């Protein structure tokens, strides 16, 4: 091609000078201005392969191609767009399945079949659908960036149409509409610094730039201190290792330990409005299961399906590795968008290890100085930059939104000392470590109570003391101490046998087993036990505490074993019984009777 044939193309184009798998080096002339994270398209025949600028050195740029680069040759033309890698934000996102570049996978499958050719794309939103727009402001109103212009219904939610986040100062509304509009139709006109322009219901936003950051500097939004816990309905999390609403957590664990099942349970029952699931590099079979399961799963909050308030971003292990990294940022940006509307959003990422591996591959091709285990030296800062986008904010209209982020980590061999896990642990404030041994014993969730932790207790203590119990934290710490003692006694028994410990230590161990089996374990497939509200958790914890902190006068280990086995079995059956039912009351009475019978015996022994 003669590059002088078209001056317009010459101003925004470059040529490939080197190809390193998914990384291509492109050269542009001195009149072309290229910026980092700008999107371009590598032209291979009729195919246009989407790519992103990662590094610029003089007139040469390193571009990461999000497709297979087979057939890309030196001299191929690259069309630069001038736009950053961005998410399209607007009504119609809920219930959709996208890839890491926000291409709607169902629509692409309908057009091209299940094996997608490279270079294909589709608009992320339905541009022909009409939405009922209701204005919230009038002509002459001054609305800050991120402020509400109007609303449209989106499922069971009110979707707020916001002033574009990138405006440098509050906008003056010069015209605003009302009625049915498509996403391309203007719904308002605003004036900023004397310049008037139209506003539609859709706006783009660069995925690598946090949405709240721009607002915070101009004080149109306020970052809040998270003070309430996220209720997941999983007892071991809510009681022993709470996550703040707007906080961060991670679930590291070896293959087969139940990370995906635990995340799905949290997504279904957590007290949030919107769920965004990012499947980053996981096996295609697991992603297909998620895509098919969510539309069939009843949502306990709305009565519809879980998919009605969910967005799925997926880049499976069989899809281009380069797009894995983009999928994390795409999911976070969509989550921030709904948080700006005053909604509670949960982002679950499975797994950030695959994302870090994609960064490692790209870093290696760019010949950067490697860090530990060949991960890039900036791995730690990259992990922090993602998790730091979680949080609670007070929006421009006074509403309060939150973004809670929970990521899974898949360390090789379950080694928590590897770089990705360690970088994540240095960032998040709740660590839910899954144990292979507990998973092998069919414990669910396989969260190890002896290695897991939460740094939110001090932050959440006022809420927990006011809404649950004044001594909630003391009760939890006492039970954690009991579990630690029980584990130490169990390790001793592995060497000496039951006869090698005292009867008192044996009873302590049985108490710890009761706490583990009756409270820490749940049945994810039972309609009642899969989710336990906080009021019942408090009731259960009080009853359990009255049992384990009672003095006993057992005559033998067999007697102690029989007693605690009976209590554990009855307690687990009580967990399966819905509150207020006859079975619920009957089983609770049986537990109370077992406790009372032993209490009477203890009192008689003391009198003797």
pLDDT digits (tens, 9 = 90+) for 260-281: 889 889 999 999 999 999 988 7
Q: In this predicted model, which residue has the larger pLDDT, 52 or 321? A: 52
pTM above 0.85, yes or no: yes
pLDDT band at 213 (very low <50, low <70, confident <90, very high): very low
Query: What is the H or E stretch that residue 83 is in?
Result: strand 77-84
pLDDT at 204 over 60: yes
Are 301 and 342 within one domain? yes
pLDDT confidence of residue 190: 96
Q: Is residue 131 packed enough to be buried (19+ CB in 10 Å), middle (13-18) or exposed (0-12)?
A: buried
SS3 313: strand
Query: At residue 606, does pLDDT exceed 50?
Result: no
Task: Report yes or no on 460 lying in a domain.
Answer: no
- Establish whether 257 is an annotated binding residue: yes
Q: What CATH code is carried by the domain that includes residue 49?
A: 2.40.10.170
Predicted confidence (pLDDT) at residue 9 exceeds the cutoff of 70: no
Is 254 assigned to a binding site?
yes
- What gap in Å lies between CA 483 and CA 513, rounded to an integer? 8
Token pair in block for residue 452 = 């897991």
Whole-number pLDDT of residue 221 = 56
Residue 138's domain is classified under what CATH number?
Answer: 2.40.50.100
DSSP state string for 454-469: ES-HHHHHHHHHHHT-
Q: Is 255 annotated as a binding residue?
A: yes
* pLDDT over threshold 70, residue 149: yes
Number of residues assigned to the chain: 608
Q: Give the pLDDT confidence score for residue 502 in this predicted structure.
A: 94
Q: How many CB atoms lie within 10 A of CB 235?
A: 23
| DSSP class of 296 | G
Q: Indicate the range of 28-37, 205-214, 250-259, 494-503 predicted with least confidence.
A: 205-214
Looking at the DSSP bridge assignments, the partners of residue 48 are: 43
Same-domain check for residues 167 and 264: no
Whether 433 and 483 map to the same domain: the answer is: no
pLDDT value at 540 more than 50:
yes
Report the share of the chain in percent with pLDDT over 70: 93
- Split at pLDDT 50, 70, 90, the class of 472 is confident
213 part of a folded domain: no
Q: Report how many domains make up the chain.
A: 4
The three-point CA angle 468-481-499 to 5° equals 135
Q: Looking at the structure, tell me whether residues 330 and 289 fall in a common domain.
A: yes
| Beta strand residue intervals within 228-330, DSSP E | 248-252, 274-280, 310-315
Q: Is 151 annotated as a binding residue?
A: no
Q: Backbone phi, then psi, for 137, in 5-degree steps?
A: -130, 170
215: exposed, middle or buried (C-beta count within 10 Å: 0-12, 13-18, 19+)? Answer: buried
- Average pLDDT of the segment spanning 109-133: 89
- Whether 412 is covered by a domain: the verdict is yes
Does residue 174 sit in the same domain as residue 46? no
263 found inside a domain = yes
* pLDDT higher than threshold 60 for residue 145: yes
325 pLDDT band (50/70/90 cuts)? confident
For residue 86, report the phi and psi dihedrals to the nearest 5 degrees. Answer: -130, 160
Q: Over 50: is that where the pLDDT of 45 sits?
A: yes
Query: DSSP characters for 86-147?
Result: EEEESTT-TT-EE-TT--BHHHHHHHH-SSPPTT----SS-SS--EEEEESS-TT-EE-TT-
The pair of three-digit structure tokens given for residue 421, joined into one six-digit string: 């896990």
Under 8 Å between Cβ of 341 and 351: no
SS3 154: strand
The set of residues, in sequence order, having a beta carbon less than 8 Å from that of 49 and lying 6+ positions away, is: 41, 42, 43, 65, 66, 67, 69, 72, 118, 119
CB 353 within 8 A of CB 409: yes
Are 47 and 146 within one domain? no
pLDDT digits (tens, 9 = 90+) for 80-101: 999 999 999 999 999 999 998 9
Secondary structure of residue 395 in the 3-state scheme: coil
Residue 172 makes CB contacts below 8 A (sequence gap 6+) with: 140, 141, 142, 190, 191, 192
pLDDT above 50: residue 219: no
**Is residue 290 located within the same domain as residue 425?**
yes
Q: What are the CA-CA distances from residue 347 to residues 310, 314, 328 (Å)?
A: 10, 13, 10
Contact criterion met (CB below 8 Å) for 121 and 109:
no
The pLDDT, as a whole number, for residue 240 is 96
pLDDT in tens, 545-603: 999 998 888 999 999 999 999 999 999 999 999 999 999 999 999 999 998 887 655 54
We report the CATH number of the domain holding residue 590 as 1.10.1140.10
Mean pLDDT on 497-517: 94
CB 38 within 8 A of CB 80: yes
According to the model, what pLDDT value does residue 524 have? 87
What integer pLDDT is reported at residue 296 of this predicted model?
83
Q: What is the pLDDT of residue 225?
A: 84
The CA-atom distances, in angstroms, between 258 and each of 349, 382, 421, 442 are 14, 26, 17, 10
260 belongs to an annotated ligand binding site? yes
Average pLDDT, the chain: 89
Longest dimension (CA), the chain: 108
Are 498 and 587 within one domain? yes
The domain containing residue 502 runs over which residues?
A: 468-607
pLDDT of residue 532: 95
Instruction: Tell me if 92 is assigned to some domain.
Output: no
Determine whether the annotation assigns residue 259 to a binding site.
yes
Residue 558 and residue 510 in contact, taking contact as beta carbons nearer than 8 Å: no
Name the CA dihedral angle for 544, 546, 547, 552, rounded to a multiple of 10 degrees. Answer: 160
Q: What is the CATH number of the domain that holds 278?
A: 3.40.50.300
- Determine the Cα–Cα distance for residues 23 and 366; give it in Å rounded to an integer: 8
Judgement on whether residues 164 and 102 belong to the same structural domain of the protein: no
Residue 564: predicted pLDDT: 95
- pLDDT for 607 equals 37
pLDDT in tens, 403-428: 999 999 988 878 889 999 999 999 99
Within a domain: 209 = no
| pLDDT band (50, 70, 90) for residue 115 | confident
């Amino acid at each position: 091609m003669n590059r002088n044939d078209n001056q317009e193309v010459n101003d925004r184009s470059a040529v490939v000078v080197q190809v390193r798998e998914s990384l291509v080096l492109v050269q542009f002339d001195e009149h072309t201005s290229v910026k980092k994270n700008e999107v371009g398209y590598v032209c291979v025949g009729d195919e246009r392969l989407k790519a992103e600028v990662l590094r610029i050195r003089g007139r040469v740029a390193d571009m990461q191609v999000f497709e297979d680069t087979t057939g890309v040759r030196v001299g191929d033309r690259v069309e630069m767009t001038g736009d950053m890698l961005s998410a399209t934000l607007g009504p119609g996102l809920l219930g959709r399945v996208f890839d890491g570049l926000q291409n709607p996978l169902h629509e692409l499958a309908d057009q091209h079949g299940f094996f997608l050719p490279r270079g294909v794309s589709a608009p992320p939103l339905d541009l022909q659908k009409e939405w009922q727009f209701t204005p919230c402001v009038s002509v002459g109103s001054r609305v800050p960036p991120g402020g509400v212009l109007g609303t449209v219904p989106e499922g069971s939610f009110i979707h707020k149409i916001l002033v574009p986040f990138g405006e440098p100062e509050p906008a003056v509304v010069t015209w605003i509409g009302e009625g049915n509009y498509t996403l391309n139709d203007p719904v308002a006109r605003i004036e900023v610094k004397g310049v008037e322009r139209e506003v539609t219901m859709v706006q783009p936003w660069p995925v690598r730039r946090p949405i709240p950051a721009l607002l915070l500097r101009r004080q149109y939004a306020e970052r809040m201190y998270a003070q309430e816990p996220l209720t997941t309905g999983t007892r071991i999390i809510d009681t022993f290792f709470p996550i703040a609403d707007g906080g961060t957590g991670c679930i590291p664990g070896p293959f087969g330990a139940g990370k995906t099942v635990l995340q799905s349970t949290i997504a279904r029952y957590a007290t949030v409005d919107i769920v965004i699931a990012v499947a980053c590099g996981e096996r295609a079979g697991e992603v297909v299961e998620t895509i098919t399961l969510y539309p069939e799963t009843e949502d306990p909050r709305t009565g519809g399906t879980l998919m009605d308030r969910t967005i799925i971003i997926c880049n499976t292990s069989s899809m281009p590795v380069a797009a894995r990294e983009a999928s994390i940022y795409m999911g976070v940006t969509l989550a921030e968008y709904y948080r700006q509307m005053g909604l509670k959003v949960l982002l679950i990422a499975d797994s950030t290890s695959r994302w870090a591996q994609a960064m490692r591959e790209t870093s290696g091709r760019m010949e950067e100085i490697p860090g530990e285990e060949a991960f890039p030296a900036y791995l730690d800062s990259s992990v922090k930059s993602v998790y730091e986008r979680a949080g609670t904010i007070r929006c421009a209209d006074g509403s309060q939104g939150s973004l809670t982020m929970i990521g899974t980590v898949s360390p090789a061999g379950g080694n928590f000392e590897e770089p990705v896990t360690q970088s994540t642990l240095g960032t998040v404030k709740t660590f839910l470590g899954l144990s292979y041994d507990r998973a092998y014993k069919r414990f669910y969730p396989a969260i190890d109570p002896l290695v897991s932790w939460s740094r939110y207790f001090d932050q959440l203590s006022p809420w927990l003391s006011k809404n649950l119990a004044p001594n909630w934290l003391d009760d939890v710490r006492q039970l954690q101490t009991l579990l630690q003692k029980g584990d130490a006694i169990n390790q001793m028994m592995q060497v000496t046998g039951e006869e090698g410990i005292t009867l008192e230590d044996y009873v302590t161990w049985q108490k710890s087993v009761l706490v583990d089996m009756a409270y820490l374990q749940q049945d994810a497939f039972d309609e009642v036990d899969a989710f336990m509200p906080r009021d019942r958790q408090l009731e259960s914890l009080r009853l359990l505490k009255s049992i384990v902190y009672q003095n006993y006068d057992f005559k033998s280990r067999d007697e102690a074993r029989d007693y605690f086995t009976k209590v554990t079995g009855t307690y687990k059956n009580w967990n399966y019984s819905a509150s207020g039912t006859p079975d619920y009351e009957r089983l609770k009475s049986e537990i109370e009777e077992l406790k009372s019978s032993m209490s009477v015996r203890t009192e008689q022994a003391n009198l003797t």
